[in-house]
Structure 1
Amino acid sequence: MSESKLLDALIAQAKLSKKQTEKQQKIVEAAITIFAEKGYANTSTSEIAKAAGVAEGTIFRHYGTKDNLLLSVILPFFKESFPIMAEEVFNEIMSSNVHTFEEFLKVFLKNRINFFFENKEIAKVVIKEILYNEELKSNLLPILSENFIIRVNKALDIFKERGEFVDIPTDRIVKMVLTFIAGFLASRLVLLNDYSITEEEIEDAVHFVMDGIRNKEQ
């Protein structure tokens, strides 16, 4: 999904809401676009109001705060669309003829890095706010975790039956793998603003994970 398509999807989702007035839809559309261009922290409510063609007081009347506006933009989209997106990603990976969990992890990591690169502006907004916005974190992380954990569990069960892992409960392996991937992406692409991830570095990252969970006797 390209950046323009992701932005379009967020805007389209907001427009489908029957609870929003025409002014609210304009506010949400303007907010999504400016958040992506300038980042959440660098965007003022006055800029959003000007782009939406409404008074700044209209934003406060409907949403109260900029944080609430962000939540109203992101949460409905992820609640409805993320399960579908996650299923598509895992179907694509599993159909790419992966034979080991190491191959699965490598394809998965490349897939998520490519997605981030294609949608980096809006993705950076979401990741940064998950790190610093407690309300967004408490609402959004369960959606992300639930959908990824279910699907990673399915993949792990397949490879675990083949004896690929050390004798560690599946749920602990899932948490370790997802924690590493989330930390890798957040640190490199958001905190360090480093977009120069090479194939070699992806290989090193995957080997780092596999050395901790691989069955050495296989």
Structure 2
Amino acid sequence: MTEKQEKILAAALSLFAEEGYRSTSTSKVAKRAEVSEGLIFRHFGNKDGLLEAIIQLGEEQAKLLFADIIMTTEPKEVIRKFIEIITKTSQNKEAIAFWKLQFKIKWELEIYGKHKTEAVEQALVKAFSELRYLQPEKEANLLLTLMDGIATRFILQENFDLDETIEFLKQKYKV
């Protein structure tokens, strides 16, 4: 990706997060990125193409976040690493801003990229199966849903006690 493409994506991320996808025009993105609007069309086709590039970037970031979890073989470590993933991400302001946008897009456009979490869900199902949980698929789905809710609360709720919540989950699952 060129430096200008990165500037365009960064500007779009910022504006979509501030104003929403529907309220942001490509001309605003171009102005913020200090490029011509034509350059946006050349690289991304249109505003939808720009959004698709941002969503794709989110999918790539999710794969990077989940890679270590998926490669882990010890079941309790799989669960622990998944529970701690938000703590790891919360220490990086740029990552928080990036994921905040991903959540905002999900709600504004009513899209949910379930495929982003399929590999980690399979790893969790396997871990819960090996630990002899009665319904490993439902347990994995519950943990994914809890973590989605925890991430939302962390992003939106001022003074949310992330550490206490993560510690509670680790105690609940004995990891």
Give the TM-score normalised by the residue count of structure 1.
0.59
From 91, 113, 117, the equivalent of 1:145 is 117
Contact 2:9 2:50 in 1 (8 A): no
CA displacement 1:89-130 (0-9 Å, x = unmatched): 344xx47xx7x74x7544432232221331111111112212
Cross-structure match for 1:109: 83
State the superposition RMSD in angstroms.
3.3
Distance 1:34 1:205, change over 3 A: same
CA contact (8 A) 1:39 1:125 kept: yes
Cα displacement (A) at 1:193: 4.6
- Among the aligned pairs, what percent are the same residue? 21
C-alpha change, 1:132 and 1:37, in structure 2 (3 Å) is closer
Structure 2 partner of 1:69: 50
How far the C-alpha of 1:210 sits from its partner, in A, is: 4.7
Q: Distance in 2 between matches of 1:179 and 1:153?
A: 14
Match in the other structure for 1:29: 6
Are 1:185 and 2:144 an aligned pair? no
Q: Which letter maps to 2:91?
A: F
Which residue among 179, 184, 203 is the counterpart of 2:167? 203
1:73/1:36 Cα in 2 relative to 1: closer, same or farther (>3 Å)?
Answer: closer
Q: 1:121 & 1:175 partners in 2: Cα distance?
A: 26
For residues 82 and 107 of structure 1, what CA distance do their matches in structure 2 show?
14
Unaligned runs of 5+ in 2: none
- Equivalent pairs counted in the alignment come to 166
Aligned pairs (5 A) from 1:1-218: 15=1, 26=4, 28-37=5-14, 40-42=17-19, 44-50=25-31, 51-54=33-36, 56=37, 59=40, 62-65=44-47, 67-75=48-56, 77-78=57-58, 82-83=62-63, 85-91=65-71, 94=72, 101=76, 105-118=79-92, 119-134=95-110, 137-138=111-112, 140-142=113-115, 144-160=116-132, 165=133, 167-168=134-135, 170-186=136-152, 188-194=153-159, 196-198=161-163, 200-207=164-171, 210=173
Q: What CA distance in whole angstroms lies between the structure 1 residues aligned with 2:106 and 2:148?
A: 11
Evaluate the alpha carbon distance shift between residue 107 and residue 73 of structure 1 in structure 2; reply closer, same or farther with a 3 A threshold. closer
Structure 1 unaligned blocks of 5 or more: 1-14, 16-21, 212-218
Deviations 1:44-67 (A, max 9, x none): 53342132421x3554675333x4
Name the larger-Rg structure: 1
Contact kept, 8 Å, 1:40 with 1:125, in 2: the verdict is: yes
Aligned 8 A contact 1:124 1:190 in 2? yes
Question: Structure 1's 32 and 59: CA in aligned 2 closer, same or farther, altered over 3 A?
Answer: closer
Residue 5 of structure 1 corresponds to which residue in structure 2? none
One-letter amino acid matched to 2:68: E
What letter is aligned with 2:69? Answer: V
- Is 1:35–1:125's contact at 8 Å kept on the other side of the alignment? no
Q: Deviations over 1:49-87 (max 9, x none)?
A: 132421x3554675333x441222322x35556445422
